[in-house]
Structure 1
Amino acid sequence: MTETLSGGCQCGRVRYEASVDSFDAYWCHCRMCQKATGGIAAAFVEIQAGNVKWLSAPDWYESSPVARRPFCAKCGTPLGFAWKDGTGAADLTVGSFDDPARFRPVAHAGAEGINESWIDTRDLPRHYTADTQSVVERWEAAGLEVPE
């Protein structure tokens, strides 16, 4: 069953709607995705061609001779991946969806770049933002509550 989901960048300048056929997602560990996101991997949802409607246009950069990536030039949010020739499916970053919790990882791509020590982190201590006093104080000083 296809659902239309919304998403966008952190500052809200770039917004999209995507027709999603599945809640399956994947991690890409290739060095390009690591560099493009600044993380150990990129979490993506594959979207079939023509199933993304940009409500406000993203900026694009050519990340390689074969690929380009949408992002927001104002806040820097990485929004996805597309083949430069415009063929095939595209990807949207899981974290850019308004409700990313609906997706689940089902595969690893770019496995040659996996940093194994980052894969299973369930035994690490967990610190919640709203319980971190230095963060709370800064939000309060700005006259705001800690966002979710």
Structure 2
Amino acid sequence: MAKPKIYEGGCLCGNIRFVATGPALKPHTCSCRQCQQHSGSLTQMWVEFSQNQVEWTGPGGAPAKWRSSEWSSRAFCPVCGSTIGAIDDKPTLAIAVGTFDSPNRQELAPLSHSYVSKRPKWWGICDPRDASSAH
């Protein structure tokens, strides 16, 4: 039997830490306005886990949450303010890829992009898997 993949990460100050046991599902980027405001970036990169796959291991326990929609809350560190992810009412937790200790793992590479229409018109989105778009 294959050993399950383990992903570790946390916030900027280390107050919020997590261990997620794979598989990492639906790696994607999103340019909706909520993702832009939550991340402070034009695009947020997410990967999903079932909530029972994630253990909060840092001294702060689980992240603080702010209710952002009828079905989801945004998660963040109450000490340093770092974005951690989104916790849905259904058992899905989307973790921001930038919070992982090793964000360069191939299985975290985005496979799709949500809300492309919400990105600034001057900003082009390149598919990272397309070698011809590399600079």
Scaled by the length of structure 1, the TM-score of the pair is 0.73
Runs of 4+ in 1 over 3 A off after TM superposition: 120-123
Q: Which residue, out of 52, 55, 60, partners 2:54?
A: 52
Where structure 2 has 5 or more consecutive residues not aligned to the other structure, the ranges are: 127-132
CA distances 1:94-128 after superposition (whole Å, capped 9, x unpaired): 000000000211101123313352424854xxxxx
Q: Would you say 1:74 and 2:111 are equivalent positions?
A: no
CA distances 1:14-40 after superposition (whole Å, capped 9, x unpaired): 101101214762101111111111110
Deviates more, 1:108-117 or 1:49-58: 108-117
Question: Which fold has the larger relative contact order, with Cα–Cα distance below 8 Å and residues 6 or more apart in sequence?
Answer: 2
Distance in 1 (CA, whole Å) between partners of 2:115 and 2:92 is 17
CA distances 1:50-75 after superposition (whole Å, capped 9, x unpaired): 11111122111112233201101211
1:1-148 alignment runs, 5 A limit: 2-22=4-24, 25-55=27-57, 56-83=61-88, 86-102=89-105, 103-115=108-120, 117-120=123-126, 122-123=134-135
Where structure 1 has 5 or more consecutive residues not aligned to the other structure, the ranges are: 124-148
Higher helix share: 1
Structure having the higher Rg: 1
Provide the secondary structure at the position in 1 that maps to 2:20.
strand
Work out the percentage of aligned pairs sharing the same amino acid.
30
The number of equivalent residue pairs is 121
Change (3 A) 1:115 1:122: farther
Q: Residue 52 of structure 1 aligns to which amino acid in structure 2?
A: V
